[in-house]
């Protein structure tokens, strides 16, 4: 047996459905914008994703410090406040040793930015001749899958040499100084050459992680 809804009942039903839809959208926006407390030792790697949301504690690097021996690729970069302060101290100490400048090209990366980097890498891997079925895994050895990047924490930093490329950092005096003294300021070379089988990431001498 079917029952016909009266007009007031229909209006009430539509109103309830609309209210539920608004509540769902609001909840989804809240989840997307949720601030995640991040510990400087949080493990984010190919097997451990960053929780959904944006890390708490991010600051604009350019607005937070003034350091002549630290050059930023742009003024929009964000990172964790305590890491930024340590980075400035390290760059200043480097300058006192007549080394530098330290050229920062990447810090915090949003999930959207990570998606763009990863998809771009996948396409380049395919263009190089790798079968499509293998392309994503091959790309992930060099560019983290979205959500699995240490840059999402705000505690990871990439540096370049004078020509602006990552590879040239390894040949610079700044790299040699950081390799010797970085730990004194809380920074490590996160992906050393001899640990690729453990980290799941290729050797990246330009990638530093602040661990305090």
Known catalytic residues are 204
Question: Torsions phi, psi of 11, nearest 5?
Answer: -65, -40
For residues 170 and 192, the answer to whether their CB atoms sit within 8 Å is: no
Rg (the chain; Cα; Å):
23
Q: 96 CB contacts (<8 Å, ≥6 apart)?
A: none
CA neighbor of 36 nearest in space, from 93, 114, 111, 115: 111
Tokens 């929780």 correspond to 51
Helix (H) or strand (E) holding 159: strand 156-160
CA neighbor of 174 nearest in space, from 94, 110, 58, 77: 94
- CA 205: distance to chain centroid? 17
Question: Torsions phi, psi of 79, nearest 5?
Answer: -165, 170
């Amino acid at each position: 047996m079917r029952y016909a809804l009266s007009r007031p009942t229909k209006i009430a039903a539509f109103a309830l459905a609309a209210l539920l839809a608004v509540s769902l959208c609001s909840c989804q926006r809240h989840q997307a914008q949720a601030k995640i407390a991040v510990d400087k030792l949080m493990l984010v790697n190919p097997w451990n994703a960053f929780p959904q949301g944006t890390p708490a504690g991010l600051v604009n690097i350019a607005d937070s410090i003034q350091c002549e021996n630290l050059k930023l690729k742009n003024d929009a970069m964000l990172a964790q406040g305590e890491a930024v302060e340590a980075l400035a101290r390290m760059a200043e100490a480097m300058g006192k040793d007549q080394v530098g400048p330290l050229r920062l090209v990447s810090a915090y990366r949003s999930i959207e930015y990570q998606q763009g980097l990863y998809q771009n890498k996948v396409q380049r891997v395919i263009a190089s001749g790798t079968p499509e079925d293998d392309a994503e895994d091959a790309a992930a050895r060099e560019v983290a899958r979205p959500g699995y990047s240490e840059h999402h924490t705000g505690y990871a930093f990439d540096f370049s040499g004078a020509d602006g490329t990552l590879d040239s950092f390894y040949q610079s005096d700044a790299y040699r100084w950081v390799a010797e003294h970085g730990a004194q300021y809380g920074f490590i070379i996160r992906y050393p050459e001899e640990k690729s089988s453990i980290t799941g990431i290729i050797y990246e001498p330009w990638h530093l992680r602040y661990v305090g």
